[in-house]
Amino acid sequence: MQKEKFDAIVVGAGPAGTTSALIMAKAGLSVALLERGDYPGAKNMYGGAIYRWPLELIVPDFAEKAPIERRIVDHRFMILSKSSGFNFSFKNLSFAQPPYNAFTTLRAKFDLWYAKLAEEAGALLATSVSVTDLIWDGKKIVGVRAGKGSENELYGNIVIAADGANSKLAIQAGLRHPLRPEEVALGVKEILELDRKIIESRFNLGENEGVAIQALGVTHGMMGGGFIYTNKNSLSIGLVVLLEHLIKSKIRPYDLLDEFKRHPLIEPLIEGGEPKEYSAHLVPESGYYGIPKLYTDGLMVVGDAASLTSSIYQEGVNMAIESGIYAAKAAIKAKELGDYSSNTLSYYEKLLKSSYVMKELYQLKDLPKIFRDNPRLFSIYPDLINYVMKELFSMDGELRRVKSKKIIKMIRQRVGFSKLLLDLIKARKIFSY
Amino acid sequence: MSKAGLKIIVCIKQVPAVQDIKIDPITHTLIRESMPSMLNPWDEIGVEEGIRLREKYGGEVTVITMGPMQAKEAILRCLAMGADRGIIISDKALAGSDTIATAYALYMQIKKMEYDLIICGKISTDSETGHIGPHLAELLNIPQICYVKKVDLDIEKRRIIAHKEADGGIEIVEAPLPALMTTTIGLNEPRLPTLKGIISSKRKEVKVVTAKDLGGSLSNYGLRGSPTFVDEVFEPPSRKPEMIFQGDPKEAVEKIVQVLLNKKLISSRS
Amino acid sequence: MITMSIDEKLSLNTYKVYKENHIIVDKEKCITCIDKPCIYCCPTNTYSWENDDLIISFEGCVECGTCEIVCPYKKIRLTYPPLGHGIIYRYG
C-alpha cells in the first residue's frame, strides 16, 4: 500500500491551528487537524474574551454563529490594596452594537465550534490524538508520530505546530529552547455559575452585554493580576502570575486565587456563584524577544507555540488566529511551488513581520522586562495610590496641605523619588509609542 | 458462512465516562448534558474479540449501536480500533426505550443482515441489566453463550467453542453458528487505536438507520414499546465514615486490622 | 462557598483518568532539591513529599506544564495521557 501523505498536518485544534487548517482546506489542500483532547477545546483554557478582529476576516458572520457568551461593553480596572480599591472603567455602548468589539466565550464550546468549521471545509479532524514526536527525513520534517510503530505515523509535506504555550514540537524542531520561568506565567481560573439576571444587575449590564475586569495589586508583588469575565450565566474569575515570581514567593496558586476571591471588593461581585470548574494553563509572557524562529524545513510554528501573546491588552486568541492565516498562506504557496523547504516557508515570517501581530509586539517589546523587573508595579504602587486616595478623601479636620506632606513622606519611604521618576519615564515610554 | 469470510456483528453502547452520575429529581433520568462519554468497556472487549476473530479467519466486523447521534463517537472509536463499518440506529421515535424495545430495534436491523456471530457486552456500566444480548438471541432464535472468557471457532464445522463463566467454575460450551455470545472481563485486553486507525475511522462508512428504516409497528419502539417504568430513582445517601484512622499509615493499618479482628470480621490464621 | 480546598476544586472537574502515570520524574535530584518548587507551584497539588519520596498524584493533573518549567534540575517530563484521557474541560 502506498504511504498516505497529507499536504499539511496541523497539530493542535486551538484558534491558531484551526484557522490554518480551515484556510488550507478551503484552498483545496489535504489537511489533517490533530487534537489531543477528547474534543477540540477539552484541554484549553484562557481568561475569557476574544476580539472580533481578525476572526471576522475568516468567519464574517461569526457574531451570529459562534457560541458567544456576552459582548463586552465595559472594561474595568481595579487597583487594589488590602481593603480599598482605586477603580475605573471604560464603558462604550457602541461596543454593544454590530460589529461589536470583543466577546466572552468558553473555550470548550468555541474551539469545538471553530474546529467543526475546518472539518466542514474539508480538513480531516482527528481527536484524541496525542502527537509525541516529529518524523525527520534528514534535516527535513516529514510527519508526526503519536506512539510507537508505523501504525502511529502520519506523513505530510508540512507540519504546523499549534501545540500551545508549552510547545514540544517547536523544541523538537530546534526552533526554541524549553520555556524558562521568566518567560511564562501560570493562569488559574474558576467558573462560577450565577443567574444571568443577577449578573446583569450586579454589573450593570444589558442583556448579552458583558464586562471584563482586570485587577492589579492582588499578586503579592508578583508580575501578574486578577481578572473577572462575565459569561451568559457564569463568571470566569482567575489570576495570572509569572512563574519566576511564583517560584520565589512559594505561594500556592490556588491559595492566591482564593485570596483574590475573598478580597472585600471582589467577594461581593462573585457572591452566590456556584463553582463549576477549576482550570490552569500556561501563558507566554516574553513578548517580542520570546518569539522563536518561526519555521524550518517542513514546519511552521503558530499561536501560543510561537509565544505570540500580549498581556497588557489580554491578546492571545486574535494573534493566534492571525498567525494561523499567514502560516496557511505560506503553505498554500509552498504547495503551488511544490517546495516545502524553509526557503518557501520563510514567506510565513515575511507576512507575519508586516502584520499587526509582529508590529504590535515589536512596539511593546520592552514591556515584559519592565514589568518583570518592577515589583513596585504590582504591590507598592497599588498600595500607594490607595493611600493617596484615602488621605485625599478622608475628612478628619486635617488640612490637605498637611496630608500632602504625609503623602510625600510615604512615597519617599516606600519608593523614593528617583525610582518613581524613573518608573514614570518608563511608563511614558510604554504609552508613547 | 459466505465466501467473503466471517460476518461478525458487535453491539455497542456509549456510556457516561464519569463516576458521579447525576439524576434529574423530577424526570428520573440521567442528566447527560455536557457529560463526557465513552465506549462501554464490556463492548470494547467485544469489538476487540470480533477484530481478533476476523484477523484469524478473515471477514468483516460491523458495529451497531442505538442512541442519540452523539453515540457516533463510540462507533468511531470501534472503527479506529479496526472494525470495518458502523451502523447507528438513531431516531426520536426510539427515545426512552427500555431493554425490550432496544433489543427489538436491534433485532429488526440485524435480521436483515448476514451474520455468523453476534457479540454483545455482558452489561453496560450505566444500567447494568445484561438483558440485551440474551433477548436479542431469543428474538433471532439463535444459540446464546453468555459471560465468555475464551472463544474459538471451528470454521469447517461452523461451530463456536466457548469457555464461559459459571457458578464455581468454567463451562466449555459448543454451539452451531450463527450464534450470539456476551463478553466478560478477562476475554481479552482491548487494543488502543493507532493514529492511522483514528484517521481511517473518519473515512469508514457509518450508516444512520431511522425507525422507519427498521420497519414494523412504531408501537414496538421507544417509550410505547417499553413496558418498564421507573417508579422512583434516588441517590443513595452518602455514608459517614464510622471511624477515621489518622497518622502514620503503618500504625493506622495495624489499628484497622485490630478493629476488624475485634469485630470478628477477619480472623488471624497466620 | 467562596473558597474551597484544592481537592474540592479538583472534584469539580471532569477527568477520564488513564491507568498509567503520564508524568515522568527522574527523582535522583529530589532529595537534594531544597525548595522543591514543583510541590508549591503546581496548580493542582499533584506533588507531595512523603518519607523522602516525591509522590505524584497524577489523577488530578490538568497537564499545564508548570512542573516541567519550575523544576530547577529539569528532571520532570510531562507527557500527555493518550487517546483523549486526562482533563476534559467543559467550560475552559
| Average pLDDT estimate for B239-257 | 81
Interface check for C88 against chain B (CB to CB < 8 A): the answer is yes
Interface check for A106 against chain C (CB to CB < 8 A): the answer is yes
Residue A125 lies in a domain: yes
The DSSP string of B46-64 is: HHHHHHHHHHHH-EEEEEE
C45 CA: distance to closest CA in chain A (Å) = 9
pLDDT recorded at residue A338: 97
Residue A361 lies in a domain: no
| Average pLDDT estimate for B163-188 | 95
Is it true that the peptide bond before B178 is cis, omega within 30 degrees of 0? Answer: yes
C70 CA: distance to closest CA in chain B (Å) = 30
**Alpha carbons B159 and B156: distance in angstroms, whole number:** 8
> Which residues sit opposite A32 in a β-bridge?
A9, A124
Which chains neighbour A (Cβ–Cβ under 8 Å, 3 or more pairs)?
B, C
pLDDT recorded at residue B239: 72
Using CB atoms, pick whichever of C14, C16, C83 lies closest to residue B192: C83
| Average pLDDT estimate for B6-11 | 97
Query: Do A55 and A153 have their domain in common?
Result: yes
Using CB atoms, pick whichever of A38, A124, A152 lies closest to residue B202: A124
Query: Do A318 and A280 have their domain in common?
Result: no
- We report the CATH number of the domain holding residue A313 as 3.50.50.60
Query: Do A168 and A186 have their domain in common?
Result: no
Q: Is the pLDDT of residue B81 over 70?
A: yes
Residue in B14, B15, B18, B81 to test binding to C, most C beta-carbons within 10 Å: B18
A376 CA: distance to closest CA in chain B (Å) = 44
Q: Is the pLDDT of residue B38 over 70?
A: yes
Nearest CA in chain B to A119: B202
B28 CA: distance to closest CA in chain A (Å) = 23
pLDDT recorded at residue B18: 64
Q: pLDDT tens digits for A242-265?
A: 999 999 999 999 999 999 999 999
Q: Are C65 and A165 in contact (CB under 8 A)?
A: yes
| Contact across the interface for C14 and B192, Cβ inside 8 Å | no
Chain A residue numbers touching B203 (CB-CB < 8 A): 124
Chain C residue numbers touching B17 (CB-CB < 8 A): 14, 16
Rounded (10°) angle between helices A342-353 and A317-337: 140
| Average pLDDT estimate for B229-239 | 74
| Average pLDDT estimate for B42-51 | 97
Residue A118 lies in a domain: yes
**Residues 37-76, chain A, touching C (beta carbon < 8 A):** 37-39, 41-46
**Residues 199-218, chain B, touching C (beta carbon < 8 A):** none
| Contact across the interface for C12 and A132, Cβ inside 8 Å | no
Chain B residue numbers touching C90 (CB-CB < 8 A): 34, 36
C90 CA: distance to closest CA in chain A (Å) = 6
pLDDT recorded at residue B128: 84
Q: Complex ipTM, two decimals?
A: 0.98
Query: Do A255 and A399 have their domain in common?
Result: no
- Going from N- to C-terminal start, the domains of chain C cover 6-87
Interface check for C81 against chain A (CB to CB < 8 A): the answer is yes
Count of CB atoms situated within 10 Å of the CB of B128: 8
Chain B residue numbers touching C83 (CB-CB < 8 A): 192-193
In 3-state terms, what secondary structure has residue B155? coil
Q: Is the pLDDT of residue B28 over 80?
A: no
Residue in B191, B195, B204 to test binding to A, most A beta-carbons within 10 Å: B195
> Which residues sit opposite B96 in a β-bridge?
none
| Contact across the interface for A129 and B195, Cβ inside 8 Å | yes
CA angle (A198, B31, A273) in 5-degree steps: 25
Q: Is the pLDDT of residue B32 over 60?
A: no
Domain residues for A39? Answer: 5-67+106-176+292-353
Nearest CA in chain C to A166: C65
**Alpha carbons A351 and A362: distance in angstroms, whole number:** 15
The DSSP string of A320-360 is: HHHHHHHHHHHHHHHHHHT--SHHHHHHHHHHHHTSHHHHH
B23 CA: distance to closest CA in chain C (Å) = 17
- Domains in chain A, number: 3
| Contact across the interface for B198 and A128, Cβ inside 8 Å | yes
Q: How many CA atoms lie within 13 A of B42 on its CB side?
A: 26
**Alpha carbons A318 and A54: distance in angstroms, whole number:** 6
| Contact across the interface for B34 and C90, Cβ inside 8 Å | yes
Using CB atoms, pick whichever of A124, A147, A149 lies closest to residue B199: A124
| Contact across the interface for C16 and B38, Cβ inside 8 Å | yes
Q: Which of A57, A48, A47, A44 is nearest to A15 (CA)?
A: A44
pLDDT recorded at residue B30: 62
Chain B residue numbers touching A129 (CB-CB < 8 A): 195, 198
| Residues near A111 by beta carbon (within 8 Å), at least 6 away in sequence | A13, A14, A15, A18, A40, A41, A44, C92
A82 CA: distance to closest CA in chain C (Å) = 18
pLDDT recorded at residue B266: 86
Cβ contacts below 8 Å, chain A against chain C, sum to 138
Q: Are B262 and B256 in contact (CB under 8 A)?
A: no
Map grid coordinates 453458528 to a residue: B177
Chain B residue numbers touching A145 (CB-CB < 8 A): 195
Residue A162 lies in a domain: yes
pLDDT recorded at residue B125: 85
Rounded to an integer, what is the distance from CA B51 to the centroid of its chain?
16
For the domain spanning C6-87, the CATH number is 3.30.70.20
pLDDT level of residue B2 (50, 70, 90 thresholds): low
pLDDT recorded at residue B33: 55
Query: Do A158 and A219 have their domain in common?
Result: no
Count of CB atoms situated within 10 Å of the CB of A203: 18
**Residues 25-84, chain C, touching B (beta carbon < 8 A):** 82-83
Residue A272 lies in a domain: yes
| Residues near B194 by beta carbon (within 8 Å), at least 6 away in sequence | A146, A147, A149, A151, A152, B80
In 3-state terms, what secondary structure has residue C62? coil
Chain B residue numbers touching A4 (CB-CB < 8 A): 199
Using CB atoms, pick whichever of C16, C64, C92 lies closest to residue A108: C92
Q: Which helix (H) or strand (E) holds A46?
A: none
pTM for the whole structure? 0.91
pLDDT recorded at residue B26: 64
Question: Who has greater pLDDT, A102 or B3?
Answer: A102
Residue A198 lies in a domain: yes
Interface check for C66 against chain A (CB to CB < 8 A): the answer is yes
Query: Do A32 and A134 have their domain in common?
Result: yes
Which chains neighbour C (Cβ–Cβ under 8 Å, 3 or more pairs)?
A, B
**Alpha carbons C18 and A63: distance in angstroms, whole number:** 38
Q: Is the pLDDT of residue B265 over 70?
A: yes
In terms of DSSP bridges, do strands B179-183 and B117-120 run parallel, antiparallel, or are they unpaired? parallel
Q: Is the pLDDT of residue B142 over 70?
A: yes
Q: pLDDT tens digits for C23-62?
A: 999 999 999 999 999 999 999 999 999 999 999 999 999 9
**Residues 11-50, chain C, touching A (beta carbon < 8 A):** 12-13, 16, 35, 37, 40-41, 43-45
A153 CA: distance to closest CA in chain B (Å) = 7
pLDDT recorded at residue B17: 75
In 3-state terms, what secondary structure has residue B172? strand
Interface check for B36 against chain C (CB to CB < 8 A): the answer is yes
Q: Which of A266, A271, A272 is nearest to A85 (CA)?
A: A266
- What parts of chain A have a pLDDT lower than 50? none
The conformation of residue A72, written as its DSSP 8-state character, comes to: E
The conformation of residue A178, written as its DSSP 8-state character, comes to: P
| Contact across the interface for A38 and B197, Cβ inside 8 Å | no
Residue A130 lies in a domain: yes
Residue A403 lies in a domain: yes
The conformation of residue C29, written as its DSSP 8-state character, comes to: G
In terms of DSSP bridges, do strands A209-216 and A68-80 run parallel, antiparallel, or are they unpaired? parallel
Q: Are A127 and A268 in contact (CB under 8 A)?
A: no
